[in-house]
Every structure is written in C-alpha cells, then in structure tokens.
Structure 1
Amino acid sequence: MSPAPRSSASTTEVVDLLALDRQVCFALAVASRNVIGIYRPILEPMGLTHPQYLVMLALWEESPLRVSEIAERLSLEPATLSPLLKRLEAAGHVLRERDRTDERAVAVSLTPSGRRLRRRAERIPAAVIDRLGMEVADLEDIRDRLTSLIDATRRTG
C-alpha cells in the first residue's frame, strides 16, 4: 500500500523508499534463486550442484588453481569452498594436493573425468538461454550491469 498523495496545487505521489518492489536486494535475491533453480535440473544429470558447477567453471578456465585462488574468483571463503572440493574430489572430478611451490597451500587440478565433464557442460549455456526465453544480448547486458554492481559493492570495503 502506498501513501496517499499529498494535496497541493500539483499532485505528486510520495514514493515509499521502503516498498519491497523498489529494493535492489529483493530483486537480486529473487532473480538469483530463480536463475539457480533453472540450472538445477540441467546440472543434476551431471551430478553437480550449482556451487560445484561454479568451481568447475573456474578450473576449466585454468587448472591447477590454489584453493585461495578459486575462493577469490568465486568470491567465497576458503572454508565454504572446502566441502565443495571434497565432494568434487569424491566424485572423481578434481584432485587436491599440496602445492609444489608452497607446502602451506593446496592446489586443485582437474582429473581426466573433470576434463571430460566440460564437454557435457558446453550445452548448459544454450539450455539456460532456452529456458529463460531471453535474447543473448539482453542476458549479456544484465550480466555486465551486475558486474558493475559487484564492482561497486567491492569498492565500499
């Protein structure tokens, strides 16, 4: 319910800055849940959850990576990442071992199974685009704008 308009010579409506549908955080939360929900049935036959898929995307770009590097790329805490990596290792997709150049660090590399999984994953973007029913250019624009928002949040400290 919005507040009643003020009575004056020119009727201007008072904007409720706390209206749910005006909140960026609400729109992002709902969009995030809904988009991840679209990925779920696509990833399930591959035996991946959405967070595991994000880890695999990072490793398909570059492998091996240190746990700290994966955490940084995914904006996750290493402690949050550890269980994901354990499950991916148990599934045979990655191998975790001490980094040869720094014994304190753990390096994560793809196994042959993890590399093969990439071929199946190449169908995921098209499937998501198809399910969303949106133009690629529109999705790229949304991604770019969200990346700007992420950068702005990082600048705030």
Structure 2
Amino acid sequence: MNRLKATELIFDLIPLLDKKFVRPFENQFKPVLSPIQANVLAILKERKATMTELSSEMLISKQQMTPIIDKLVSQGFVQREYDNTDRRIIKISITPSGLNIIELLKEKTFTMLTEKVGHLDDQEVQRLINAINELQKIAGKLP
C-alpha cells in the first residue's frame, strides 16, 4: 500500500515540477539552447564522450544525436576530436564558448530559483531543504 502511494505521489510531482521549474527555464533559454542541447553540454562539462556514450546517457539514438552535435559544433559550443591512433574514434568535447554559455545559463537559473524561493517564509525554506535532501538520498537508491 505504501509503495503504491509513493508511486502515485511521484507521478503527481513530475508535472508540478515541470510546470513550476523546468518549463519556465526552458522557455527562457530556448533562443540559445534546446533542453537536449543544454543536457549534452552539462554532460560534456564533466567529461569528453563519444556519440555512443552521449546517446546512451541521453536515451536517444545516435542518429538523433548527430544533428544535435552538428548544431552545437556550428554554434561553437562543442568540437569533435579525432583519436590519433584510431580515426574511427571521435570524442566530443565542450569548448570555452560552451563552458561560458553553461555558466551563463547556470547564473540565470540560480537567479530565477532564488526569486521563486524568495516567496517562501523561513520555515517553508527549511522544510523544502529537508524534503529535497531526503528525496535526493532516496532517489539515489533507485535503480
């Protein structure tokens, strides 16, 4: 019974988070980056990756990933790096421009989130912090 209730609550939480947080940020950044492009840059900020690795992590096909990478290359946010020993291996890496745009988006996102959290009283902020910490711990255990 409790597992079913937890499942229902998570199911109900997803559209709420999408409406309150995800879509407002996506709409602000659409002229610069699509959500998928932003996710790719976030991955590449941490490490270089092949198309196969990126498509696997993003849960999309390599055929779908190719135009995304092509667009990011044309914008100067990523670059293709060919392996010296095996030219078939191509790693995608973020460029300084890509790092700059990620930092700019991060700053704008923090500003928007700070504004949203600013509408809460101190007690609500503490409850939110506690709830998020718990959710992160528990979600980290899920397969």
When normalised by structure 2's length, the TM-score is 0.66
Does the 8 Å CA contact 2:44/2:93 hold for their aligned counterparts?
Answer: yes
Q: Any idea what the Cα deviations from partners look like across 1:8-52, whole Å, max 9, x if unmatched?
A: xxxxxxxxx8xxxx746843652464243122134235x011111
1:81 to 59, 65, 80: 65
Aligned CA distance change for structure 1 residues 55 and 120 (closer, same or farther; 3 Å) = same
Distance 1:39 1:91 in 2: 20
Count of paired positions: 130
User: Which residue does the alignment assign to 2:114?
Assistant: 130
CA RMSD between the two structures: 3.3
How many angstroms does 1:54 deviate by?
A: 0.7
Asked if 1:60 corresponds to 2:45, the answer is yes
User: Which residue does the alignment assign to 2:88?
Assistant: 104
Does the 8 Å CA contact 2:38/2:102 hold for their aligned counterparts?
Answer: no
Gaps of 5+ in 1: 1-16, 152-157
Which piece of structure 1 moves more, 123-132 or 87-96?
Answer: 123-132
When normalised by structure 1's length, the TM-score is 0.61
Distance 1:52 1:119 in 2: 14
How many angstroms does 1:58 deviate by?
A: 0.8
2:132 to 134, 139, 142: 139
1:43 to 14, 18, 29: 29
Gaps of 5+ in 2: 118-124
Secondary structure at the aligned position of 1:82 is classed as helix
Aligned CA distance change for structure 1 residues 27 and 79 (closer, same or farther; 3 Å) = farther
Higher RCO (CA 8 Å, separation ≥ 6 residues): 2
Distance 1:130 1:147 in 2: 25
Query: Percent identity, aligned pairs only?
Result: 20
